[in-house]
A and B are shown apart, each in its own frame.
Chain A
Amino acid sequence: MNNQLKKQLLKRSKAAKLERLGKSVSFLALMLITVTVFAIIIFVASKGFSTFFSNHVSFVDFITGKNWNPSVTNAKGQPEVGALPMIAGSFIVTILSALVATPFAIGAAIFMTEISPQRGAKILQPVIELLVGIPSVVYGFIGLTVIVPLTRSLFGGSGFGILSGTCVLFVMILPTVTSMSVDALRAVPRYYREAALALGATQWQTIYKVILRAATPGMLTAIVFGMARAFGEALAVQMVIGNAALLPTSLVSPASTLTSVLTTGIGNTVMGSLQNNALWSLALVLLVMSLIFNLVIRLIGRKGAMSK
């Protein structure tokens, strides 16, 4: 009897076993994700850096060069892999679309959280969720058949260009920025509102002077998130921007982004060749940029947390 009791007490209980299993399964899941992420980063970096190390392209030429013709060598005997037009194109469409989308997103978010929460939740919430769910190729197709001809008839040119790209991206990032702004506004403590109203502020004064200011870090995060999405979007932009590796001279002249050159070019190059490596370098730039976007988001979050 004593022995049996001892055995029972020393044996791991069912709950302990389950605990161990649960912990190890979740640790494995974490490991898998971490390994995958690092594998991707290492792969893209090794491929992307080979343009500079094995093909001996100078990094400065790559970042500042204006001619993208990887299969052609220039006067100096170096391949023409100037990525400036694509980098500029990516940044311009990203910043423009964020600039256009932000006021609309914040307006919608204020309406949903402060002015009319019930109607907002009933109408706007489903609409925004729907917008998030539409695949990017559909946005691109609509852009191609509606926005491109519209820009052409309004501003001339071919209709393909930064302006059309901005319009499409605006619609694509609007739901992301809106729903994250809503979260930021909802996170403002209730007593901020109560205190402002008690001091005799009108609702708009409360929103403008108190709530928006308190929610600024959160909304900045929302905007950067939207920008990260715009920066990485490939298909929809590729369909409307024209894919010309030229430095944009106007909003309606064809341009290109890092992603659009990647998607059009990757099938026509051979693994290991300079043409292919140059595309990987573009991918590396994209990856680094998205890491920077993530860092910015963390920084904003930390700063916002401190000021509270």
Chain B
Amino acid sequence: MSKARWIEILLVISIVILGGWAYQTRQVSHTNQTITAVGSTALQPLVEAAGEDYAGQHLGTFVNVQGGGTGTGLSQVQEGAVDIGNADVFAEQQKGIVPSRLRDHRVAVVGITPIVNPKVGVSHLTTKQLIAIFTGRVTNWSQVGGHHQKIVILNRAQGSGTRTTFEQYGLNGHRSIAAQEQDSSGMVRQIVATTPGAISYVGFSYVDKTVRAVSLNSVAPTNQNVTTNHWKIWSYEHMYTGRQPQPLATAFIHYIQSAKIQKTLVKQLGYISISEMKISRDGHGTISQVGSSHE
């Protein structure tokens, strides 16, 4: 046999061995030790922090958290490619997802508030005014009691959970006119802070001194008001699994839902604990008192 032949055979053998090894390790880590959670970037910090905690307490376990967006998370978990799909919206609200194939686990609540550039001179609006602004009927802040300044609308990308929630509960289902779009809340805050006349919306945890959160119909955007549904623009953070989830994935989700995480991490990271909610809302927006009916 020629030398070249030998090299070829050697190459093939080593590729087979490497491939087989990769396949083997994939199997082992997949079934035993790793949970993969993919999806919403709004929920990512919480899952990452909780994942580190969980891995610290359960040696040999590894929680792999990736972003990618709500759509990615839901479609990947539906296909069975990942264990957990993180989402800002109900599976019912996402096109192309069959909700009956997934199991919903709510792990936190996020309040969303309109924010404006501090120099527009407006700190409260009515829902009617908000709809008028985002549908383009009002184009100057002086029309809603502010300074003479053109309104600059800033949206999140189409299909983002924050935008879906805002349009559904903040604009009562009206769609925003086509305007600037940004794909992250941090970017939105920075642009609102620096652009005169800008208005947008972010989760409560993103509000800081550089922007002004606007109260709606004289209700202030506070966690307290979210728990009673007086502040209507909020959404659950969901962790979806398949109908028959992996035991480890279920255990991890229960860990996030446990009182310990809900009282510490959830609050530190600016979410609202699921246990504080006095009402609950289903995928169609129907409100019920907690305790009277339970999921």
In-complex Cβ contact of A17 among B2, B72, B95 (8 A) = B2
Decide yes or no: A265 and B158 within 8 Å by CB, A158-B195, A270-B71 being known contacts: yes
Please, which residue of chain B has its CB at the minimum distance from the CB of A66? B178
Per-residue CB proximity of A48-73 to B under 8 Å, as 1/0? 00000000000000000001111110
Decide yes or no: A71 and B178 within 8 Å by CB, A21-B4, A269-B71, A270-B97 being known contacts: no
Check if A158 sits within 8 Å of B3, measured CB to CB. no
Pick out which of these stretches binds chain A: B62-70, B100-108, B214-222, B271-279.
B62-70
Pick out which of these stretches binds chain B: A88-96, A222-230, A239-247.
A239-247
Q: Which residues of A contact B160 (CB under 8 A)?
A: 268
Decide yes or no: A17 and B158 within 8 Å by CB, A244-B180, A270-B74 being known contacts: no
Instruction: Count contacts between A and B, CB distance < 8 Å.
Output: 103
For the complex, give the distance between the alpha carbons of A149 and B196 in Å.
11
| B19, CB-defined interface residue at 8 Å | no
| A175, CB-defined interface residue at 8 Å | no
Decide yes or no: A245 and B178 within 8 Å by CB, A17-B2, A275-B95 being known contacts: yes
| A152, CB-defined interface residue at 8 Å | yes
Decide yes or no: A273 and B96 within 8 Å by CB, A254-B180, A267-B71 being known contacts: yes
In-complex Cβ contact of A267 among B4, B68, B179, B196 (8 A) = B68
Q: Which residues of B contact A68 (CB under 8 A)?
A: 178
For the complex, give the distance between the alpha carbons of A68 and B181 in Å.
12
| B289, CB-defined interface residue at 8 Å | no
Check if B178 sits within 8 Å of A265, measured CB to CB. no
Q: Which residues of B contact A157 (CB under 8 A)?
A: 152
Check if B96 sits within 8 Å of A20, measured CB to CB. no
Check if B180 sits within 8 Å of A160, measured CB to CB. yes
Check if B71 sits within 8 Å of A268, measured CB to CB. yes
In-complex Cβ contact of A243 among B7, B152, B182 (8 A) = B182
Per-residue CB proximity of B157-172 to A under 8 Å, as 1/0? 1111000000000000
User: Which 4 pairs between the two chains have the least Cβ-Cβ distance?
Assistant: A267-B69, A273-B96, A268-B159, A270-B96
Q: List 26 A-B contacts (CB under 8 A).
A: A21-B4, A69-B158, A70-B158, A71-B95, A72-B175, A152-B195, A158-B152, A158-B195, A238-B183, A243-B180, A244-B180, A245-B178, A245-B181, A254-B179, A264-B181, A264-B182, A265-B157, A265-B158, A267-B68, A267-B70, A267-B71, A268-B69, A269-B96, A270-B71, A272-B75, A273-B96
Extra pairs beyond A70-B158, A243-B157, A268-B160 (4, CB < 8 Å): A152-B195, A245-B181, A270-B94, A273-B95
